[in-house]
Homo-oligomer: A and B are copies of this chain.
Amino acid sequence: MTKVFTHKDVSLHSTRDSCHVIIHNKVYNLTNFLSEHPGGARIILREAGTDATAAYSKYHPAELISNVLSPDLCLGVLDTTSVPISLKQPEEQTAGQRKSRDISGGGGGKPDLASVLNVFDFEAIARKTLSREAWVYYSSGSGDEITLRDNRQSFNRIAMIPRVLVNVSSISTTTRLLGSHCAMPIYISSCALGKLGHPEGEVVLTRAAGTRNVIQMMPTLASCGLDEMLDARRPKEGGDGWQDTWFQLYVNSDREVTKRVVQHAEKRGCKGLFVTVDAPWLGRREKDMRVKYVDDAPDIQKRETDTNGKLVNRAEGAARAISSFIDSKLAWSDLSWLASITSLPIVLKGIQCAEDAVRAARTPRIAGIVVSNHGGRQLDTSRSGIEILPEVMDALNAAGLKRRIEVFVDGGVRRGTDVFKALALGAAGVGIGRPTLYAMSTYGQAGVERLLDIFKEELEGCMGLMGVTKISEIRRDMVDTKYLGARVSVVKDFLHENAYEAMEFPTSKL
């Protein structure tokens, strides 16, 4: 039997020790969820005891809460006839608060979109124009960000070996990924919280993917609802259905939730199911944590004055398995269950060694893998996807499994040559993550379209100069990987960076 609550009932639970909120006319007890909220506790506590729908909707789709929260946290429904109680003064922006800068597409405060010549430009502009909150969430990697940076550097350690005197007057970048025709071997990878950067969120990516005929992998943790994104799809040319999309899945501890989500995605026409397997624990993204700490600080400090133990709990929280909505128990043996609830091709996203790649290829119903380290956001000092790729392909080849699965790679792809390198080393396609967020956040749909156009131009130019006219002509002996693994770059040694502390001359003398 569903319980019914008045505004007043809810208003009695407005503290850290008992925190109830109303979202879309349902009442939730978020007390225990406070420390698990990836966005920090503070942002929830501001709404404690009130109707949080507006704040919630700023970042999340309506359906998310039922997809990730344990059902028993929903206490019941709101008596919509009850009178809202104003607990606090309308929040005024304090002087010190950072203002999110203007992010509307195409104008005022940003260079003309036409002057953006390469993928890095979007990042440079995003850094200057995004809110601090969005920038650190999007740009951060885990730990010392060694993997984050190596994702990029490792492409630079691969050299191209062009062939000349080939007729390259006509070049085609089209390909098939999991059976879908694509304009190029690039897809938009899933990233959470698009509304941090753009008020409309991920539907912007959907639309741009549609006009450019590339695949968008839609994230479980999108700011927009899956249906919102799917509704934004574009009819296929020739009229046969809608643009192809994939769905990225975080398997929930509550398998029924997962089942419902997956079957809905399949029913709505998604063409692939990408199961994230590299996030049973949350990576420590310290740049992000620093910002969250500043937001949460006052409350935390109060707790600290009470007991030292609480402080420690909070610290532990950051690295703890997010058991409520990403199931840290997920194992190889669960894949047959997943296969049983859907007929979608299943792709494992986050494979990082040959051993797991071969195991995936031997698992029934697994159609592909994404060699990936989660954009450097999970385990620092793990290797870049592009470095792992040759080892994975060699192992699949040796095991006679090369044709069993499609191999994708992501992480650090910023140039057309990077795409070429990935394909030369065996990838069917590459995922682009952060650059799509930066382009979307700075110039909206037109920005993402230009981003994709730049990738296409660069890839075409690269193919032309490599003596290749079709994707299928790209071969491994067109790249030199001798020093690919030479991760000897000096990481900035911020404290001891000067080896020799030079003698200080007595200033009075010299």
Contact = CB atoms under 8 A, between A and B. Distances in A.
Interface of A: 108-118, 120-121, 123-125, 127-128, 139, 143-146, 148-149, 152-153, 155-169, 171, 277-278, 280-284, 286-287, 289-290, 293-294, 297, 300-301, 304, 308, 311-312, 314-316, 318-321, 323, 327-332, 334-335, 348, 350-353, 355-356, 378-383, 415, 417, 446, 449-450, 453-454, 456-458, 460-462, 464-466, 480, 482-483, 485-506, 509-510
A300 B330 contact: no
**Copies per assembly:** 4
Contact of A286 (B117, B127, B327): B117
Given A162-B382, A487-B157, A499-B492, A329 B167 contact: yes
8 contacts: A110-B509, A155-B381, A161-B353, A290-B504, A308-B449, A315-B450, A379-B465, A489-B490
Contacts of A111: 503, 505-506, 509
Of A127, A139, A282, A499, chain B has the most CB atoms within 10 Å of the CB of A499
A168 B321 contact: yes
A461 B503 contact: no
A160 to B, nearest CB: 4
A499 B293 contact: no
Contacts of A301: 112, 114
Contacts of A116: 503
Nearest to A160: B382
A164 B328 CA distance: 10
Given A149-B499, A312-B450, A382-B161, A318 B492 contact: no
A206 to B, nearest CB: 17
Of A146, A148, A331, A500, chain B has the most CB atoms within 10 Å of the CB of A500
Given A281-B464, A457-B316, A503 B121 contact: yes
A122 B502 CA distance: 11
Contact of A160 (B153, B284, B304, B383): B383
A505 B282 CA distance: 26
The 9 closest A-B pairs by CB, nearest first: A281-B464, A319-B461, A379-B465, A164-B277, A319-B457, A169-B328, A160-B382, A169-B329, A167-B329
Given A117-B290, A382-B162, A383-B161, A485 B485 contact: no
Contacts of A454: 315
B380 A328 contact: no
Contacts of A482: 485
A39 B319 CA distance: 42
Contacts of A328: 167-169, 464
B493 A498 contact: no
A371 to B, nearest CB: 11
Contacts of A449: 308, 312
A136 to B, nearest CB: 9
A492 B498 contact: yes
Given A162-B382, A465-B379, A146 B499 contact: yes
Given A284-B458, A330-B167, A382-B162, A492 B503 contact: no
Contacts of A171: 321
A159 B487 contact: yes
Contact of A493 (B144, B153, B417, B494): B153
Given A144-B500, A496-B145, A108 B509 contact: yes
Contacts of A167: 328-331
Contacts of A157: 487-488
B148 A356 contact: no
Nearest to A155: B381
Given A115-B290, A312-B449, A379 B462 contact: yes
Given A286-B117, A350-B164, A383 B491 contact: no
Given A114-B301, A114-B315, A167-B329, 20 more contacts: A112-B300, A114-B304, A115-B297, A117-B503, A120-B495, A145-B500, A146-B499, A149-B499, A153-B490, A157-B488, A162-B278, A162-B353, A163-B356, A164-B348, A165-B332, A167-B328, A280-B465, A312-B449, A379-B417, A488-B489
Contacts of A318: 457
A417 to B, nearest CB: 5
Contacts of A506: 111
Nearest to A286: B117
Nearest to A280: B168
Of A168, A315, A328, A466, chain B has the most CB atoms within 10 Å of the CB of A315
B495 A281 contact: no
Contact of A492 (B304, B323, B382, B497): B497
B495 A487 contact: no
Contacts of A165: 277, 330-332, 334-335, 348, 356
Contact of A379 (B156, B160, B480): B160
